[in-house]
A and B are shown apart, each in its own frame.
Chain A
Amino acid sequence: MIRIANGQGFWGDSLEAPAMQVRRGPIDYLTLDYLAEITMSILQKQRSRDPKAGYARDFVDMIADVLPDLIARRVRVIANAGGVNPAACRDAVLAIAKRQGIDVKVATVAGDDIMGRLDDLFARGIELNNMETGEPLSTIRDRVQSANVYFGAFPVAAALARGAQIVITGRVTDTGLALAPMIHEFQWKADDWNKLAAGTIAGHTVECGAQCTGGNCQVDWAEIPNMADIGYPIIEAEPDGTFTITKHAGTGGRVTVASVKEQLLYEMGDPREYITPDCIADFTTIHLEQCGPDRVRFSGIRGRPATPFYKVSVSYSAGFKAIGSLVYAWPDAYRKARAADQILRRRLDRLGLKFDAIRTEFLGANACHGIPLAEPAPDMEPRLAEVVLRVGVRSNDRAAVERFTKEIAPLALNGPPVVTGLGSGRPRVEEVVAYWPALIPKTEVKPEVSIWPSEN
């Protein structure tokens, strides 16, 4: 049995979680997810300004903190912290190890960045059509900011086989980070579909960190113990593809069949067709069993052969947006917020501003669940303590979005009364970086695994 911990559900998750996973109980592997879909474009911009940037700095700071413990406890780390520059991330980690007088083998998995190959791919008839709209990527070629293939677990497993104690990857699937140690330790083959599906589902269960150990859990949230010290998930994986999800003893939160089921359903499409580069996993074959306090055992999982494609994540510039808000207080908070919205829109019309999208929401009244589901009853409406008017616009014309940001604040003095919330001043204009999903034949890209210090 091996223990595979998740210490980071997304870039921005708890800074304490990785160290907790290493120090508060036994684990063999620590996996960390740092890349969201839009993260790659931010990192690509950082690298274009500085050739030594373009990876997750948080990861390097974390390694500086826990490296001696990793070595003492023989914990190996797998992180997609390399972003668009895994080699620079590796160099930063090696510099820290040197400063601490520690010898460590660090591998990188690269080759996922196809930004520089796009024109070559188009020329050869690989159009990277949008999976949702069918449009070819060439239609937005000049606006592309990053393009990365999602690799699976096998290149990471290859890095482990070469003795890496820390594996830094570019774009690798979240599930692949957790599946890789199972492939390596148990010598699973590329066509062991049932086992690969089991490891993939294990990875899916832990990929959002504490979201399977009682965090964001609706079943009975108020009863979940000690959320302030919530434990992050650990997979206890067996060679036959069964596994148990648990957490370190003494940590908060709770691992139950119910908490795990919620995470299984997160971002789910067709439950029979969970497609990764490694296999197709069938969620309708999962058998769950509470086999002890904070222990849920998974068995029976079946999978099918992987597809001949990798998924590609392209980010591209898609105009500008700004979102502003004002807070209206009792009495008639909702009525006043609605009136302010109408006044604002008349002023925007008079200025002749054109937007691709404009949207108003009333936080405190109906924003999350919408109208009609959450519309306050007529007798309730005048009693609302406050309502936040939230207005957003989006346009390719930056000047129009800029102008909009200057029309919100004046409402505090020249619109309906008892209004506040201007503390942060005018809203900020943000560049919109949108996401373009596509597929590429696996034969077109090769993962590149390298290890440092080199083997000879």
Chain B
Amino acid sequence: MAKRKLIELAHARSGDKGDTANVGIIARRPEYYPILVREVTAERVKKHFEGVCLGEVERFEIPNLGALNFLLHESLDGGGTLALKADPQGKTYSSALLRMEIDVD
């Protein structure tokens, strides 16, 4: 097992719905997808966003796109216009997730 940064294996996009951010990650090669499924669990994502995501993390698998979608509840300081954050729509959470270090065979 070797440690790799997720950004080497995946690309990503994020957006918002109210106080919930979504982060989608996409395998850069088909053979990376099972690694993402195994390593990037909802629990790990919740821990990764400690201090940012105050609610639950949900994960959805989209195998046909080689992608995982995460919903990070209570992550946007109230969301939308209520938020005082520089990034009230969580647009930069995509690359925040790609900082994660994972084990690769």
A45 interfacial contact with B, CB 8 Å = no
In chain B, what residue has the closest Cβ to A263?
B13
Q: Mark B30-69, 1 if CB is under 8 A from A, else 0.
A: 0000000000000000001111100000001011111101
Q: Mark A287-331, 1 if CB is under 8 A from B, else 0.
A: 110000000000000000000000000000010010100000000
B58 to chain A minimum Cβ distance, whole angstroms, is 8
Q: CA separation between A368 and B95, bound complex, in Å?
A: 10
Residues of A within 8 A of B85 (CB): 359, 361, 367, 392
Known contacts A218-B12, A219-B11; decide if A359 and B60 are in contact (CB<8 Å): no
Which of B16, B82, B84, B94 is the most central at the interface, judged by chain A CB atoms within 10 Å of its CB? B84
In chain B, what residue has the closest Cβ to A265?
B24
A14 interfacial contact with B, CB 8 Å = no
Tell me which residues from 395 to 416 in chain A have a Cβ below 8 Å from any Cβ of chain B. Answer: none
Of B15, B52, B93, B94, the contact of A218 (CB 8 Å cutoff): B94
Residues of A within 8 A of B13 (CB): 216, 218, 262-263, 265-266
In chain A, what residue has the closest Cβ to B94?
A218
A63 to chain B minimum Cβ distance, whole angstroms, is 30
A264 interfacial contact with B, CB 8 Å = yes
Is A370 in contact with B52, judged by CB distance below 8 angstroms? yes
Of A269, A318, A432, the contact of B22 (CB 8 Å cutoff): A269
Q: CA separation between A393 and B95, bound complex, in Å?
A: 27
Q: CA separation between A266 and B67, bound complex, in Å?
A: 12
A50 interfacial contact with B, CB 8 Å = no
Q: Mark A345-376, 1 if CB is under 8 A from B, else 0.
A: 00000000000011101010001111111100
Is B96 in contact with A368, judged by CB distance below 8 angstroms? yes
Number of residues from A at the complex interface, CB < 8 A: 50
Residues of B within 8 A of A287 (CB): 64
Q: CA separation between A370 and B60, bound complex, in Å?
A: 24
Known contacts A284-B62, A372-B51, A432-B82; decide if A269 and B71 are in contact (CB<8 Å): yes
Q: CA separation between A263 and B11, bound complex, in Å?
A: 12
Is A433 in contact with B81, judged by CB distance below 8 angstroms? yes
Chain B interface extent, by class: 35 or more
Is B86 in contact with A37, judged by CB distance below 8 angstroms? no
Is B95 in contact with A434, judged by CB distance below 8 angstroms? no
Which of B50, B60, B81 is the most central at the interface, judged by chain A CB atoms within 10 Å of its CB? B81
Is A271 in contact with B17, judged by CB distance below 8 angstroms? no
Q: Mark A265-276, 1 if CB is under 8 A from B, else 0.
A: 111111110000
A286 interfacial contact with B, CB 8 Å = yes
Residues of A within 8 A of B86 (CB): 361, 363, 367-368, 390
Q: Can you name 20 A-B residue pairings with CB atoms under 8 Å?
A: A132-B19, A216-B13, A219-B28, A261-B66, A263-B13, A264-B65, A265-B12, A265-B22, A265-B24, A267-B15, A269-B17, A287-B64, A359-B77, A359-B84, A369-B95, A370-B49, A371-B51, A372-B51, A373-B49, A374-B96
> Which residues of B come within 8 Å of A, CB atoms?
11-13, 15-19, 22, 24, 26, 28, 48-52, 60, 62-67, 69, 71, 77-78, 80-82, 84-87, 92-96, 98-99
> Which residues of A come within 8 Å of B, CB atoms?
37-38, 132, 216, 218-219, 258, 261-272, 283-288, 318, 321, 323, 357-359, 361, 363, 367-374, 390, 392-394, 432-435, 437
Closest 5 CB pairs of A and B: A265-B24, A392-B84, A267-B15, A368-B92, A359-B84
Q: Beyond the given A368-B96, A370-B49, A432-B82, please list 15 additional residue pairs across the A-B interface where CB-CB is below 8 A.
A: A219-B26, A258-B11, A262-B24, A266-B13, A267-B15, A271-B60, A286-B65, A358-B84, A359-B84, A363-B86, A368-B87, A369-B92, A371-B51, A372-B51, A373-B48
